[in-house]
Amino acid sequence: MIKRLIILMLAVFSFQLVHATEGMWLPLLLQQLNEAEMQSMGMKMTAEDIYSVNQGSLKDAIVHFGGFCTAEVISNQGLLLTNHHCGDDYIQAHSTLGQNYYQDGFWPGSKSEELPNPGLFASFIIRIEDVTDKVLENVTAGMHDKERQAWVSRNTERVKMEAQREAYQDVIIRPFFEGNQYFLFVTETYRDVRLVAAPPASIGKFGADTDNWVWPRHTGDFSVFRIYAGPDNKPAEYAAENVPFQPRHFLPVSLDGVNADDFTLVFGFPGRTEEYLPSPAIEQRVDVLNPIRIGIRDRTLAVMNEAMRNDPEVRLQYVSKQSRIANSWKKWIGESQGIHKTNGIAKRKAYESEFQKRVAANPEWKAQYGDILGRFEQLYAGQAPYAKAREYIGEIAGRNIELFRYINTLHGVAKSYNASGAPGLAGRMDRIKNYVEGFFKDYRPEVDRQVFSSLMEVYFNELSPEYQSEFAIEQFVASNKDYQTLASLIYGKSQLIRPDVMRQALEAGPDVLAKTIQEDYAYHFVRSISEVNEGDALKEYQRIQEDIDLLQREYMKAQMEVFSEKRFYPDANGTLRVSYGKVDGYTPRDAVQFEPHTYLEGVMEKYIPGDYEFDVPEKLRQLYKSKDYGPYGEAGKMPVCFIGSNHTTGGNSGSPAVDAYGNLVGLNFDRVWEGTMSDIHYDASICRNIMVDIRYVLFIIDKLGGAGHLVEEMELVHPKK
């Protein structure tokens, strides 16, 4: 009891100040909120060096890569560096068993051999503006939410129309602090982005699932692309006459590396965090929803991993799918463990206790905010059964069984046909054909069928019966309640997973295609399950979630008023952010202390010949044996990765890690397992981001890939000499 009280007291006294390394900050506001602190930690730049609209600055070298990762420009010819796992879909798309760039690496000798990637884009941020007053014009405190949203939407469109921009630029406006603040972003998007180089997967994904979210790490997680522009250096669609893009700024590359306690800055587009959730939301996620997700993906990964180990073709087809499923699976495990290890829920409750105490002491706050926390308790309790059903069906039908995702996509095609007839699909047939062909290219029904039979066991045994499909139950009973028999029935009778049938239907036109889809046995099975989720369960979940979202906006406003002495940073929402920290090890558990650097020696210690996770290319083994590290080694060793206390999340993959002077020293690609809870609870003692040392990247490009011409294109610097 005494120990628990001490934990609560420490939480109360420590919550008010944001840790120096916590936060994902808007670059526009660094001067007023962060510059002094950053310089006290060793930074030699100014806020203007990082973000400027008047001159080239760091932000002009940072791009949103495909809308899901970050990349940075590292030469005056538009050379772009990002993670291997950000580029692996494109590397895989260019690969065949006969010419397997994914497995063997891709090292073209000239720009003419660089490969186009339809659909891939790179977006720059030109400027950021606070437009809160304009967006919230005519919005009042007591206004009904529908009226409020109408005003916000109307004002947003007006502000976007009035914003100054070039014809080739775009304007987006995003809400911050749950809609209490709004910022405008002027962007410039380039759509001719070509693959330039990639290491073999045995380097770019070294350690694969076993090492994912883990430190010590030895992964060379990088790939190289190039932005091409029109002859006027403006954005242009892919064309042979396009030329390498000339950036406003590119990052010099440091050959001096980093030492423990060195300042680091990570610049990128973090996707989503929820740092200001109430304790009932965290409890629901950690103790209810995460176990559901983890258990389902345990089963999926067991099937996929076995198939990939036994068949190189399956491995090539499923590597990206498996990575997406495994990445979140392992993250959720670490998130739950980290919350419990750091007493995250107790600390959040202590924060809420202090909030309630301050509110109670102020009559105005008490009237306005006094019942917020109690209302959260009621809402999350009421939402719980629907949240569980949504999670079960979402994981099973939406994210793990490929047949379900495929059929639900085709259902959209059928809906369009039913609404508008053949003319409604006439202009979309080429896109539908491309989708279907893309699906079959990397689809193995024998693998998916095993996943199906395993997850149907979860569906019929763990999901509450009131959320199960009557039609699905009937088919299960008709299969003698045997999951393999059910799988054989569904996959055996479906025409939608037969490439020849689908190609004939597509060639025959919209009428035949729609008929083929809607008369399919598997279509009826899949839709019966999905429709239950889309019906009462999802509707009730969303109804309550709308109330939660409204209350969260009010709670966010209340926190910023009640804790006025605290620096608040907005949750990540896919917009450009800065996080800063230092190179720093950590103690994950009793008697274990992790150093902040790893070396090539560790790669060799993990080496397992022929293993799909820990194999090492022969040439890399030879380079290690001869210690042929060139200018990239350090004291006879080859640095590989390092960790720091920068606050990052998904979307920061590929973000540059720069030193105190703004030189590139590393490439962010992961977080440590113990600290993955930093999306909802940051703890400076164990939250660390993982970066590949830029010297290892250069070493692999030059010494292993023989692509020294790419290194020559960069500006190499020695800031410590």
Give the pLDDT confidence of 32-52 residue by residue, as tens digits.
999 999 999 999 999 999 999
CA separation, residue 555 to residues 178, 181, 352, 361 (Å): 9, 14, 11, 17
What's 452-463 look like in SS3? Answer: HHHHHHHHHHHC
Q: Is 238 helix (H, G, I), strand (E, B) or coil?
A: coil
Say which of 57, 530, 653, 655 is annotated catalytic.
653
18 pLDDT band, cuts 50/70/90, is: low
Model confidence pLDDT, tens digit, residues 244-281: 999 999 999 999 999 999 999 999 999 999 999 999 99
Highest mean pLDDT among 93-102, 140-149, 353-362: 353-362
Q: What pTM was computed for the model?
A: 0.89
Contact status, residue 131 vs residue 185, Cβ threshold 8 Å = no
The per-residue pLDDT for 16 is 42
Distances in whole angstroms, Cα of residue 36 to Cα of each of 14, 39, 40, 41, 43: 21, 5, 6, 9, 9
Contact between residue 393 and residue 530 where contact means Cβ atoms under 8 Å apart: yes
- Count other C-beta atoms under 10 Å from residue 601's C-beta: 12
pLDDT at 563 (0 to 100): 97
Amino acid at 584: D
Q: What is the mean pLDDT of residues 604-623?
A: 96
Compute the distance between CA of residue 555 and CA of residue 497 in angstroms, rounded to an integer: 49
DSSP assigned state of 568: P
pLDDT value of residue 327: 87
Mind listing the pLDDT tens digit for each residue in 235-246?
Answer: 999 999 999 999
Question: Taking 50 as the threshold, does the pLDDT of residue 13 lie above it?
Answer: no
pLDDT, averaged across the chain: 94
Choosing from 64, 85, 597, 647, the catalytic residue is: 85
CB burial of 182-201 (b: ≥16 within 10 Å; e: otherwise) equals bbbbbbbebbbbbbbbbbbb
Q: What's phi and psi for 585, nearest 5 deg?
A: -80, -170
| Per-residue pLDDT, 19 | 63
Q: Is the pLDDT of residue 371 over 90?
A: yes
DSSP state string for 190-230: E-EEEEEEB--HHHHTTTHHHHTT-SS------EEEEEEE-
Q: Between the CA atoms of 477, 478, 484 and 489, what dihedral angle is there, to the nearest 10 degrees?
A: -140
Instruction: Report the length, in residues, of the chain.
Output: 721
Q: Dump pLDDT digits (tens) for 329-339.
A: 999 999 999 99
Coil, helix or strand at residue 33:
helix
pLDDT (mean) for 652-669: 98
pLDDT in tens, 539-580: 999 999 999 999 999 999 999 999 999 999 999 999 999 999
User: Of 226, 225, 193, 198, whose CA–CA distance to 118 is shortest?
Assistant: 193
Whether 653 is catalytic: yes
Catalytic-labelled residue, pool 49, 221, 448, 659 = 221
Q: Give the start-to-end residue ranges of the domains of the chain.
A: 52-251, 279-559
Strands 253-254 and 716-717: parallel
Letter string b/e over residues 69-80, b meaning 16 or more CB atoms within 10 A of that residue's CB:
bbbbbbbebbbb
Residues facing 599 on adjacent strands: 639
Q: Is 237 exposed, middle or buried (0-12, 13-18, 19+ CB in 10 A)?
A: exposed
What 8-state DSSP symbol labels residue 231?
T
Residue-level pLDDT at 133: 97
